[in-house]
Amino acid sequence: MSLYPIAVPTFTRSLNSLRNILTKAAAHAEEQGIDPDVLVNARLAPNMFPLKRQVQIACDSARRGCGQLTGAEVPVVEDTEETFAELIARVDGSIKFVGQFKEADFEGAEAKIIELPLASGTIGLNGPTFLMSFAFANFSFHMTTAYNILRHNGVVLGKMDYLGTP
Within 13 Å and on the Cβ side, how many CA atoms surround 73? 2
Q: What pTM was estimated for this model as a whole?
A: 0.95
Structural domain range at position 139: 4-163
- Phi and psi, residue 48, nearest 5°: -105, 155
pLDDT band of residue 68 (cuts 50, 70, 90) is: very high
- Summarize the confidence of residues 25-32 as an average pLDDT: 98
Give residue 165's pLDDT band: very low, low, confident or very high (50, 70, 90): confident
Whichever domain contains 138, its CATH number is 1.20.120.450
Q: What pLDDT does 95 receive?
A: 98
Sign of CA pseudo-dihedral 51, 57, 62, 63:
positive
Q: In this predicted structure, what is the pLDDT of residue 118?
A: 87
pLDDT tens sequence across 110-152: 999 999 988 899 999 999 999 999 999 999 999 999 999 999 9
Please, what sign has the CA dihedral across residues 57, 58, 61, 62? negative
Mean pLDDT of 57-62: 98
What is the pLDDT averaged over residues 67-81? Answer: 96
Q: According to DSSP H, which parts of the chain are helical?
A: 4-32, 36-40, 51-70, 84-99, 127-129, 136-152, 159-163
Total structural domains in the chain?
1
Residue 140 is predicted with a pLDDT of 97
What 3-state DSSP class applies to 32?
Answer: helix
| Calculated CA dihedral for residues 110, 111, 116, 122, nearest 10 degrees | 150
Residue 1 has pLDDT above 90, yes or no: no
116 close to 125: Cβ distance less than 8 angstroms: yes
